[in-house]
Chains A and B, each alone.
With several copies, the nearest count.
Chain A
Amino acid sequence: MERCRILFSGSGGQGVITASIILAEAAVLHEGLNAVQSQSYGPEARGGASRSDVIIADSDIRFPKVIQPNVLVCLTQEAYNKFTDLIRPGGLLLTDSHYVKQEKKVDAKQVELDMYKEVMDKIGKPIVFNICMLGALIELTQLIKQESIMKVLGSRVPAAFLDLNKQALELGQKIAENFDPKNI
């Protein structure tokens, strides 16, 4: 596989970091891949913008940070403004239309999905928004299998909530599947 560098960005409460860890953990534990994950600590991590770097590869990963992401996920306008220029030519830029308005063209596949709204409409629990995002991401990138994500969730989420997470994951996949670039 090609080395994939993903940068997740958003605000403190959105669960981006958790989502990124789940993705990387799935790669390592259930797909025999290598992955590294790291996140920004520091004052900005409290309340303000948060950032998580994930690299997934089938070879050893030395340098652990993402400088130019292949995949950039921005879940706030602030994050979008801050990071959007970093994206690798030909990469994927994923945003949520509730939070972000993609204002300019970049040399990447720009995907704007209505994940937040759909989560609220279909599931009603904002807490699984991040998992929905993850669903969309794996659908768009085909990086990691749904089952792998579910296995990780199984070991992390109380049984009672597992189903909810599964719904969200699948919702995300569906939204992404239905995505028609012409809509942008």
Chain B
Amino acid sequence: MKKDIRFVQGNEAVVEAAMYADLDFFAGYPITPSTEIAELLAYRLPKKGGKFIQMEDELSSMCTIIGASLTGKKVMTATSGPGFSLKQEAIGFAVMTETPCVIVNVQRGGPSTGLPTSGSQGDVMQARWGTHGEHAIIALTASNNQDVFAITVDAFNLSETFRTPVILLLDEVVAHTRERLIMPKPGELNVVKRLRTSVPKGTDYHPYLPREDGRLPMSDFGGVHRYNVTGLAHDMWGFPSNNPKIVYGLMRHLVDKIQGHTKEVTRIKEFFIDDAEYLLISYGSSARTALHVVENRRARGERLGLLELQTLWPFPVDVVQERCASANCVMVVEMNMGQIFYEVKKAVADPQKVFLANQIDGSFITPTDILNILRIIQGKGA
């Protein structure tokens, strides 16, 4: 079979991947630079009997997909900064009710309306901490179309596996850059199906009682099991409880099911790491610039390496620590004032060797930007 090659934007890669992962339902509200995702799905979803709805705002879009997910659908929404802020309350509801869903946030320049059409990576910490209350979350990213595809499929898979919202944290540059996408064949990538309970009708089903392997099989709303779902702290039946023991169990479960599976959730890519003196750590579009620099300097014999993170949350502390151990110097390349930078500092044994190479003026980070900072780190001045 001939390869199915496309020339598409990152946003289109998201759409193709979501369709590949059996997306059934999308609700959204337009916002630059994520709008193409909605536009394409408005066209694509009905073709396979799926549902697309443009809601009145981002708050309702988020709520709508949660409702749809509970009926057994695979669901997604897509937005950018301001809309991501608006979705936070409902994202917390999805966390608390353990409802699978994928939220795409195509980052643009902030804060506030900021620079709507510029790339940025300013929402990394918000993806982790944007909703109120203690919780854990999964956030993934990618730097090129092929990876965007794979990571999007992964986002759905992890969302189903851990019954949790997964945030796909892209950025304007990745979303809007057109490049090749080789469409994976059906079956080529793993697609995790919704895990449904095997408890038969008439037998008690506990929506919030984890199995031995920690997973919680679901029962579709409208199916044979009638149960309650609430954003309040709740017991294994889904009914409100403020019994400290039950609350404690719930909180630990919600956090541990993610933090405790960091290894399984971690996706990274490594370039010339083994003997790297200067280890660059980057993600999303800025990893492209970082890789450009690494390849370029390797060609001149300089020992640069790149660790590209695709899982941002839970932060892969162990992997980062290990990979940084032998480098003389670590440089985090990102388009903000150091959000992953501080996580790396926290992770490594000798934080004073970690530096930040960044760009915050709305323009895309260039190889020169990185090299200039590298030179300074090397003590060579400006």
Contact = CB atoms under 8 A, between A and B. Distances in A.
Contacts, number: 65
A63 B289 contact: yes
A21 interface: yes
Contacts of B135: none
A39 interface: yes
B128 interface: no
Interface of A is mostly: mixed
B366 A63 contact: yes
A64 B295 CA distance: 15
Contact of A64 (B116, B179, B240): B179
A38 B5 CA distance: 19
Interface in A40-72: 40-43, 45, 61-65, 67
Contact of B367 (A29, A42, A63): A63
Contact of B288 (A39, A40, A63, A67): A63
Nearest to B172: A41
B314 interface: no
A141 to B, nearest CB: 19
Nearest to A26: B7
Contact of B177 (A25, A34, A38): A38
A29 B180 CA distance: 8
A74 interface: no
Interface string B143-182: 0000000000000000000000000000011001111100
Given A25-B7, A29-B7, A38-B173, A61 B179 contact: yes
Interface in B1-40: 5-7, 32-33
Contacts of B288: 62-64
A38 B177 CA distance: 5
B178 A41 contact: no
A63 B117 CA distance: 18
Contacts of B116: 42
Nearest to B367: A63
A93 interface: no
Given A25-B7, A29-B7, A34-B179, A65 B364 contact: yes
A62 B289 contact: yes
B291 A41 contact: no
A36 B8 CA distance: 9
A21 B118 contact: no
B292 interface: yes
B43 to A, nearest CB: 16
Contacts of B179: 28, 34-37, 61, 64
B178 A36 contact: yes
12 contacts: A24-B7, A28-B5, A28-B179, A29-B6, A36-B177, A36-B178, A41-B33, A45-B117, A64-B177, A64-B179, A64-B285, A64-B288
Interface of A: 21, 24-25, 28-29, 34-43, 45, 61-65, 67
Q: Across the A-B interface, give the 10 residue pairs with the lowest CB-CB distance, nearest first.
A: A41-B117, A42-B117, A62-B292, A63-B292, A25-B7, A37-B178, A36-B179, A62-B291, A28-B7, A62-B288
